[in-house]
Amino acid sequence: MARRKEVVIVGAGPAGVFAGLALSDLPGVRVRIVEQGPDIDERLATRGAKKGKLDPGWLLRGWGGAGAFSDGKLTLSPEVGGQLKSYLPPGEVNALLGEVDQMWVQFGAPQEVYGGDEDAMAELARRAARADLDFVGTRIRHMGTDRCPVILREMRGALGENVEVHARERATRIRVSKGRVTGVDTAEGNRYRADYVIVAPGRDGSQWFMEEAGRLGLGRADNPVDVGVRVEVPAEVMADVTAKAYESKLIFYSKSFDDRVRTFCMCPYGEVVKEENEGVVTVNGQSYAGKRTANTNFALLVSTRFTEPFHDPIAYGRYLARLANLISHGVICQRLGDLRLGRRSTSERIARGLVRPTLGCATPGDLSFALPHRHLSSILEALEALDRFAPGVASRHTLLYGIEVKFYSARPHLTEKLETEVTNLFAVGDGAGVTRGLVQASASGLLAGREVRRRVESGPQ
């Protein structure tokens, strides 16, 4: 009797979940999903017990990964949210994203899609161009922070009996012999043999995977690091834009330094939240399907790609985040008017403002002590351009939270099936530097899972 094949998936974010779904009904195979955080029921229970105020670290780890309590945006464009177009022809990428989208809908994502009105998108593009901005139109399906974990719970329940979920178990080492993957070790003392390993470490595991890739001698390409602030304005300021596009992808190149500044993760009628990543507190945003606030928030990020001799953009981003944490014991909040005047914000000044902060635990302060002058100058220029696109964005009452950092892992050299230079070792999702959002992360996991399935079904490799 042939020995059954063993597959280990490291990480249960969207990439790992979709890899598991691709393999869940494959006979003669045992699939282990190893996830350092809690399972989805525990995450939901903890969230309910704390009345929605989940511990910041749990926002990133556990079943569903950072996607579980994210804003729940499904961005349906190969131009946004990842690098899959670097590996596959455009037609194949579009087909794969379409399949992933329908799987999310099958498990409960809403039917409504924003950004499908071509005339409305063209008008927004014209407005942006007049404001010295580049508008990237895309279709978006919004699930909401309240609905997203429920959908991921449905996916958890759809896994076949051949899939074992090992929650609260942290992978520590990828074992390789003679250029072929052989297993995964965990901090809990387990040594799992594996014929195939799909590494989907997520944002919270990106540093670990980068270290493992270095130990294994995998070739890597550094991704840029995005550093900036979370901007909060009255929802009415952006209402005509968010009603048409939900999320506006706007790109600006600063006059002072020619730095690329972009909006990211727009949350209409949403709230600002804090995150914790290995002891570093950063800021993010989210919106709900079932409730609204009076504000809209979005990230404004400056992209930096380092060259020789520096090759650790994640360390740079973490350094800036730690500096902000040192100053504020967490997240800094500052009125734009105070930043322009070169003074810190105080609780009294914020209370007199027109924008009521949705993140109550932020510390009034001065972002100029945490962000480099180059970044601040580019952000201020971008806010002026955005104000021409949507008047009111650059009001003195606008709130800036900092800092926001997007850690993109160094991307290993991969084949078109996302296989590394080690045979049968695949790397997928945000933590592997391949993607930057729910849809492309899910698609990368599905792509790798299907390739493992094909190899199992075709016989010995």
pLDDT value for 366: 97
**Residues 372, 229 within the same domain:** yes
CB atoms within 10 A of CB 227: 25
Q: Same structural domain for residues 375 and 255?
A: yes
Same domain (yes/no): 237, 212: no
How do residues 324-357 score in pLDDT, each as one tens digit? 999 999 999 999 999 999 999 999 999 999 999 9
Read off the pLDDT of residues 428-442 as tens digits, 9 standing for 90 and up.
999 888 998 899 999
Residues 275 and 151 in one domain: no
Under 8 Å between Cβ of 406 and 226? yes
Same domain, 76 and 177: yes
Amino acid 53: pLDDT: 52
Question: Is the residue at 118 inside a domain?
Answer: no
Whole-number pLDDT of residue 52: 47
Residue reference for tokens 């999320």: 247
Q: Is residue 131 part of a domain?
A: no
Burial classification of residue 119, based on how many CB atoms lie within 10 Å of its CB (0-12 exposed, 13-18 middle, 19 or more buried): exposed
Tell me: do 386 and 446 sit in the same domain: no
Segment 121-152, tens digit of pLDDT: 999 999 999 999 999 988 999 999 899 999 99
- Asked whether residue 362 falls in the same domain as residue 449, the answer is no
3-state SS class at 348? helix
CA atoms within 13 A on the CB side of 163: 25
Q: Which residues contact 203 (CB under 8 A, 6 or more apart)?
A: 60, 65, 66, 277, 407, 430, 431
What is the count of structural domains for the chain? 2
8 Å CB contact between 345 and 334: yes
Q: What is the pLDDT along the chain (461 residues), one digit of tens a residue?
A: 567 899 999 999 999 999 999 999 999 999 999 999 999 999 988 876 654 455 556 678 899 998 888 889 999 988 888 889 999 999 999 999 999 999 999 999 999 999 888 999 999 999 999 999 999 988 999 999 899 999 999 999 999 999 999 999 999 999 999 999 999 999 999 999 999 999 999 888 888 998 999 999 998 877 778 999 999 999 999 999 999 998 889 999 999 999 999 999 999 999 999 988 778 899 999 999 889 999 999 999 999 888 778 777 878 888 999 999 999 999 999 999 999 999 999 999 999 999 999 999 899 999 999 999 999 999 999 999 999 999 999 999 999 999 998 877 678 999 999 999 999 999 999 988 899 889 999 999 999 999 999 999 987 65
Same domain flag for 162 and 307 = no
Q: Which residue type occupies 79?
A: E
Q: Hey, what are 354's tokens?
A: 């027109």
Is residue 359 located within the same domain as residue 233?
yes
19-74 pLDDT, tens digit each: 999 999 999 999 999 999 999 999 988 876 654 455 556 678 899 998 888 889 99
- Do residues 454 and 313 share a domain? no
Are 77 and 215 part of one and the same domain?
yes
Side by side, the strands of the sheet bearing 134-136 are: 134-136, 249-253, 260-267, 295-304, 225-234, 399-406, 332-335, 363-364
Q: Does any domain span residue 126?
A: no
Domain that holds residue 61: 5-109+147-221+410-458
Asked, for residue 130, whether it belongs to a domain, the answer is no
The pTM for the full model equals 0.86
Q: How far apart are CA 210 and CA 78, in angstroms?
A: 25
Q: Which residues contact 229 (CB under 8 A, 6 or more apart)?
A: 283, 299, 300, 367, 371, 379, 400, 401, 402, 403, 404
